[in-house]
């Protein structure tokens, strides 16, 4: 997979995570992450922090892609990183379907 597709997948999953977290909190579900839970009272702060976390993740992916030219085991990082980002999205969707 090309590097840009990992970045696109990460950004899409981050957006889905933010939206499903917001909808879940709106429906009365508790947020397990204390960093995010503290920001739920202000939408701008909540979505702004998600944007910052997403930007940091994209920057990490870019750095890893560049370093993987010299350190070959790093090529395994992007797919694992994106899959780990997918976990909260699927967890949120399962919780939302149950409410």
Instruction: Indicate the domain borders of the chain.
Output: 3-98
pTM: 0.91
Please report the pLDDT score of residue 12 as a whole number.
98
Please report the pLDDT score of residue 99 as a whole number.
66
Q: CB atoms < 10 A from the CB of 29, how many?
A: 16
**Distance in angstroms (rounded) separating the CA atoms of residues 6 and 8:** 5
- Res 91 pLDDT > 70: yes
31-67 pLDDT, tens digit per residue, is: 988 988 889 989 999 999 999 999 999 999 999 999 9
């Amino acid at each position: 997979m090309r590097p840009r597709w990992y970045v696109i997948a990460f950004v899409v999953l981050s957006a889905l995570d933010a939206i499903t977290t917001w909808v879940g909190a709106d429906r009365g579900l508790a947020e397990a992450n204390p960093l995010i839970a503290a920001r739920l009272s202000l939408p701008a702060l909540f979505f702004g922090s998600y944007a910052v976390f997403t930007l940091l993740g994209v920057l990490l992916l870019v750095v890893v892609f560049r370093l993987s030219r010299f350190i070959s085991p790093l090529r395994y990082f992007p797919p694992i990183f994106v899959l780990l980002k997918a976990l909260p999205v699927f967890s949120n969707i399962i919780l939302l379907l149950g409410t």
